[in-house]
Amino acid sequence: MPRVSQDQLDARRRQILAGARACFARHGYEGATVRRLEEETGLSRGAIFHHFRDKESLFLAVAEDDAAAMVATVAEHGLVQVMRDLLARADEPDQAGWLGTQLEVSRRLRTDPDFTKRWAARSEAIAAATRDRLIRQRDAGVLRADVPVQVLAQFLELAYDGLVLHLAMGRPAVDLEPVLDLAESVVRRQR
Amino acid sequence: MPRVSQDQLDARRRQILAGARACFARHGYEGATVRRLEEETGLSRGAIFHHFRDKESLFLAVAEDDAAAMVATVAEHGLVQVMRDLLARADEPDQAGWLGTQLEVSRRLRTDPDFTKRWAARSEAIAAATRDRLIRQRDAGVLRADVPVQVLAQFLELAYDGLVLHLAMGRPAVDLEPVLDLAESVVRRQR
C-alpha cells in the first residue's frame, strides 16, 4: 500500500473544505446532503468522512477556517477590515449563501449544548483578537479613552453581526461603505 | 347559521397569531408543522387556514405584527428604543426562538422572489420610520449634522440587525446596555 504524504492529506482536506463550503452555500445546512457533498467535493463519502466525523464536524471545520482567517485579519487590520472584506465580496453569491448557512444553525445554538460549545470557541477567538487589537490601539493613543475597551469591542462585534445578517438576507451591499466608516470612527479618539 | 361578528373574527385572528408565534419560536419555521400549529393555537387546521392562506402567509403575518409595533415605537422613541425593548425581553426563551425563525428564512430571501417581495415591504416600513424620525431630530437640532441622515439610519439598522443575530444565537444579553448607549450617542449632535 503506498504511503500517503502529509502534503497529500492536507491537500485532500482543503479540497473537501472548499467543496463543502460551496455545497452549504448553495443548499443550506439541511440541504447539503451526503450525495451533494460528494458531487461538490468530487470525492466519495468514504473519503470525506475519513477526514471529518460527520456533517456537523465538516460544517464547523469550514467555520473554523473562516475564524482563523478572521483572527489573522483582526490582529493586523481590525474587525472593520473584516467587514470591508465581506462587503468587497458581496457580489459573490456563495458568500451570502455561506453566511446564510451560519444563520440557519441559530436554533441549534440555543438548543444543542455540544454544538454551542464548539461554536463558542470560534466566536471567543475572534472576540479576544478584537479586544487585543483595541488595547494595542489604546496604548498607541489612537483609541477613544472615554469608553471601556470591552464596550468598544462589543460595539464592533454588533456591527459585524449586523453586516452578516444584512448580507445573508441578500440585502444590497451598495452604500454600506460610509456606514462602516462611521462605525470605525466611533472607536477612534474623538477630535 | 349564526353570524360571526367582526370582533369575534379579529379575536380569532389574534389567537392564531399568538399561537403561531409561540409555535415558530419553539420549533423553527420548518418544524412548525400543521399539527403543532393546531396544538399551539388550540384550533383546527380548517379554522387556521380559513384566516391564512398557508404557513408562509401565517409566518409573514406574525412578522408584519412585529413590524407594525416596531414602526410605532420607532416613530415615537427611535430604533434604539426598539433595541432596548428587545434587550429587556432577552430572558424570554420564545423571543430568541422567534428571532431565530427569522434567520432561518434567510435562504428563502435570496432564492424566492415572491417571499422576498413580501418581506421587503415590512423592512421598508421600518427603514422609512427610522429615516423620518432622524429627519425630525435633525430639524430639532439634536442630530449630528456632519453625516447624511441616510447613513445614520443605515448605521442604526446595522446595529439592530446585529442585536437580532446576537440574541437569536442565544448569546448573553447582559452588558449590552452600554453598547446601545454608545450606538445612540453616535447619531446625536457631537459635543
The verdict on residue B1 lying in a domain is no
Where does the pLDDT of residue B108 fall: very low under 50, low under 70, confident under 90, or very high at 90 and above?
confident
Q: Shortest CB distance from B103 goes to which of A93, A103, A163?
A: A103
What cell was used for A117? 460549545
The amino acid at residue A118 is R
User: Please, which pLDDT band fits residue B191 given cuts at 50, 70 and 90?
Assistant: low
* ipTM at complex level: 0.93
Q: Model-level pTM? A: 0.93
Nearest to A106 among B103, B116, B147 (CB): B103
- pLDDT attached to residue A111: 87
**What per-residue confidence (pLDDT) applies to A174?**
87
Answer for the pair B168, B102: CB distance below 8 angstroms, yes or no. yes
Q: How far are the Cα atoms of A17, A121, B115 from residue A13, in angstroms, in the given order?
A: 6, 21, 37
* Pairwise CB contact (< 8 Å): A97 & B110: yes
What is the grid cell recorded at A125? 477567538
CATH number, domain of A67, equals: 1.10.357.10
Mean of the per-residue pLDDT values of chain A:
93
Mean pLDDT (chain B, rounded) = 93
> What would the grid cell of residue B77 be?
422613541
Task: Look at chain B and report how many structural domains it folds into.
Answer: 1
pLDDT in tens, B48-66: 999 999 999 999 999 999 9
The reported pLDDT for the residue numbered A2 is 67
- Between the alpha carbon of residue A164 and those of residues A173, A174, B54, B170, the distances in Å are 11, 14, 29, 16
d(CA A61, CA A51): 11
Would you tell me how many other CB atoms lie within 10 Å of the CB of residue B88?
A: 12
- Yes or no: say if B80 and B133 are a contact pair by the CB < 8 Å rule: no
| Residue pLDDT, tens place only, B133-176 | 999 999 999 999 999 999 999 999 999 999 999 999 988 898 99
Of A81, A159, A18, the C-alpha closest to A89 is A81
Query: Mind listing the pLDDT tens digit for each residue in A15-30?
Result: 999 999 999 999 999 8
For residue B118, which amino acid is it? Answer: R
**What single DSSP character describes residue B41?**
H
The answer to whether residue A1 is domain-embedded is no
Question: Counting beta carbons within 10 angstroms of the beta carbon of residue A178, is it exposed (0 to 12), middle (13 to 18) or buried (19 or more)?
Answer: middle
How close is the nearest chain A Cα to the Cα of B20, in Å? 17
Whether pLDDT at A95 is above 80: yes
Mutation test of the interface with chain A: which of B150, B151, B169, B180, choosing the one with the most A Cβ atoms within 10 A?
A: B169
Domain coverage including residue A36: 6-187
Per-residue pLDDT, A65? 93
Residue B9 CA from chain centroid, whole number: 24
Number of A:B CB contacts under 8 A?
125
- Among residues A74, A66, A63, the alpha carbon closest in space to that of A156 is found at A74
Predicted confidence at residue A81, as pLDDT, reads: 97
Of A74, A110, A77, A104, the closest CA to residue A164 belongs to: A104
In a domain, residue B20? The reply is yes
pLDDT of A126 strictly over 80: yes
Mutate to test the interface with B, among A103, A106, A189 (most CBs of B within 10 A): A106
Determine, for residues B160 and A155 on separate chains, whether the beta-carbon distance falls below 8 Å.
no
Angle CA(A113)–CA(A118)–CA(A120) in degrees, nearest 5? 90
Q: Average pLDDT, stretch A95-99?
A: 92
Nearest CA among A190, A178, A181 for reference residue A145: A190
* Residue B4 pLDDT level (bands cut at 50, 70, 90): confident
Q: What is the pLDDT of residue A1?
A: 59
pLDDT of res. B138: 95
- The 3-class secondary structure across chain A, one letter per residue, is CCCCCHHHHHHHHHHHHHHHHHHHHHHHHHHCCHHHHHHHHCCCHHHHHHHCCCHHHHHHHHHHHHHHHHHHHHHHHCHHHHHHHHHHCCCCHHHHHHHHHHHHCHHHHHHCHHHHHHHHHHHHHHHHHHHHHHHHHHHCCCECCCCCHHHHHHHHHHHHHHHHHHHHCCCCCCCCHHHHHHHHHHHECCC
CA A174 to each of CA A91, A167, B107: distance values in angstroms, whole numbers, following the listed order: 10, 11, 20
pLDDT digits (tens, 9 = 90+) for A135-172: 999 999 999 999 999 999 999 999 999 999 999 998 88
- Residue A88 pLDDT: 95
- Closest of B30, B21, B33, B32 to residue B94, by C-alpha: B21
- Percent of chain A at pLDDT exceeding 70: 98
In sequence order, what are the beta bridge partners of B6? none
**What was the pLDDT predicted at A110?**
85
| Per-residue pLDDT, B159 | 98
Q: For residue A25, tell me if it sits in a domain.
A: yes
In the structure, what pLDDT confidence band is assigned to residue B2 with cuts at 50, 70 and 90? low
